[in-house]
Structure 1
Amino acid sequence: MQLEVSVLGKPVATLDSPTGFEHVLTYYPGLNAEDFVSLLMPVQTKSYSYPELHPLFQMNLPEGFLLSILQEQLGPHIGASPLSLLSVIGRNMIGRVQVSAPGANLDVAPSSIEVKEILKGDNGEEAFIDLVKKYATSGVSGVVPKFLSPEAKRQFLKASVATPRYIIKGSSQKLPYLALNEHLSMEVSRTAGFDTAKTEVSEDGQALLVHRFDVNEVTGTRLGMEDICSLLLLRPAQKYEATWERVVKQVKAFVPTENRQMELEKLIGTLLLTYALGNADCHAKNLALLYTSFEDVRVAPVYDMLSITVYDDYAKNPPGLSISGRKTWHPGKTLQQFAQIQAGIKPADFKLLLERICDAIVKVTPEVMAHAKDKSGFREVGKRMVHRWNEGINSLTYKTSILVPDLKVNLDAAGFSEVVIAKPVKPEKIGKSSLLASKK
């Protein structure tokens, strides 16, 4: 199978897998330098061979719940090879690159989604599964959405679906009010003055609309986007194997000199938010670069920022990426030293970043409390968020001159009961039969 690769709607290359393992990208002749597919693959006459699918395309492959939906709706052969999967989803990828059969119409729009219905309607787990099921196959002709098997539904924990203007995210029974959690966490980032993806949360707190930041909202023009995972030549499954040192190295490698310091400061802001909010899910796929050319590369806005450790399944998870060889929520002076040595952030500027985050958390906490009062199902999650944020800012400001209030006072003032701290779920023992006699 040979596919065609387009940049901003212009066919620029072929993508093939002659052996079934090695993948080869070959640019067409007569292209301009700005027609490059990836920051790792400038336009050249020699083909780019890779032992598996090139990292940029791996970045866009669906996995987990979304992949199971595609396989159940389109047949198990989808996903048997990366190219067969790309042939289905390649026209609707994140960024400015599209992949399709040669000569295919790239302008066929997927089904439209009524935003108002999401913001004001039912967004429970079943409703969101139906939404994903409908939209995931909407760009494929002749497909009638089918019922999902119980096995596929069991994979639903966290899921999202990309539309031309939004990334739509849902919540689940295991991660209740995940959408509201992320919206409020992103609100901290916005309030702190960081470049942050715009979000809208549904009235029931169960669905989140993230405005796509790889699309110019005025012109609709796509920006190039590559996550750090792909730029490090890591498979998506290796997203936790990167380090903050390697992340900084990639920013320095691709961001032009004149903007580099500003972009490094944005990155350090994301790092500090991760520790303040307890985002154990900040990995190499949740950090990215945006670009229009090699001369215009910048760090993507803050996205996928949330207090994930308030949920039992993530309660004991360490930070997603190591720093100075460690993954700990109590880094001491490590973050300041890292920011100064690796990113050139002066101690005074580092302190200002901390103060901005602490002030933002103090300002957003009443909003968390208001939702906790209004939505009984969110109450325990909201209480845990306030408790976790309180721990976060106290840990970050320990042995500094920054004074932070005790956020737990808000819980007491609201008359809420004591916070039930998230407890890690014990892993299920595989292969142990209930018929076996117990040990004495």
Structure 2
Amino acid sequence: MSKSLQAIRGMNDTLPEQTPLWRYLESKVSRLLDNYGYKQIRMPIVEFTELFKRSIGEVTDIVEKEMYTFEDRNGDSLTLRPEGTAACVRAVLEHGLTGGGQVQKLWYIGPMFRHERPQKGRYRQFHQIGVEVFNLDGPDIDAELIVLTWRLWGELGIRDAVKLELNSLGTSEARARYRAALVEYLSSRLGELDEDSQRRLKSNPLRVLDTKNADTQAVLVDAPKMVDYLDEESRVHFEGLKARLDTAGIPYTINPKLVRGLDYYSKTVFEWVTDKLGAQGTVCAGGRYDGLVEQMGGKPTSGVGFAMGIERLILMLETLEQIPEEIARQVDVYLCAFGEAAELAALALSERVRDQLPNLRLQINAGAGSFKSQFKKADKSGALYALILGDDELAQQVVGVKPLRGQGEQQTIAWDALAEHLATCIVQG
């Protein structure tokens, strides 16, 4: 007997009852970004593998262990994008969007792919909303990115459940000095580090700071701190960022161990974290990457951005029960028609109502059926009201309006007055 076809492990279907919440979140974010002057860009989900090796770093966990890489029929090595920043930088370079110092404020949305161990809030195909800004090098744009996410948390009703952590990684020169001091310190206590941290010490020592191992964390208590190695430019930049966040009234914590998992970050790094999702505590993260465009073959161009995981934000909304009532209800009005003549009239009437109320979610019964069966479907749809159109109503050019959720008695409304009546009912409902 053949094996039944299933989705790939860690790559999930989003079912019809789940998509309304996704659309709600996506619309909230897109409207907010529009209001802040950001423009959407859409990139392919497959890129040349070299793009990610050059941008993310060949000795990162993503490149070494997690990328979905394959050869196409031409023998080219291609990779399903594991993150969005590198692809966005490639796009702006290829199309000359940052030439001549042009400021670009961009955002994107879509699936990313990493071969990780699937668990709640962490999947092999996951979805991100990302924001990237080019050719603005001051702390004001860093602050704007954080302020707009703070506003989003407020609009979603999850502001009290997230906390902002900040750090500065300085310039590449400052990081090199700090890296040398950190390696010297950790090398002297090599036997106390966990196996993964010992490996990272040789390839990417800053990632040791990110360890979850309790014994290694104890070793790090007395380790050198990045703040003591910051160059003056980065120090001034960081102080400017903090001053703006203080002015905006946004609370934050300085986390000297915050380094992010990608090689291209410099100066500002930040994460919005929560304790409501168990092990998957980061819901949005980003920072500055002033050297990345040049590293990828462009002219020196400052850059800063962030990415937020849609699955984790959805999980947050569900966990905190911040799902608006209208999201659960997908139909406002369900039109029941009995008999062929009534069905024909119902089609014309429903389209007339839609012309007058373009935002009304009106579902017309399909497949005929008895009075009982149509009302059962009307109730199952979640609609607030059922419209009744039979031979008697057809003869009088009226329609019955029956509340389905306890909003009063059934009424009889003339066709010409139906749209106005529904507008009042739905607003009141």
Structure with greater proportional strand content? 2
Bigger Rg, which one:
2
Structure with greater proportional helix content? 2
Q: Give the shorter-chain TM-score range.
A: under 0.3
How high is the TM-score relative to the length of structure 1?
0.23
Greater RCO structure (CA 8 Å; 6+ sep): 2
How high is the TM-score relative to the length of structure 2?
0.23
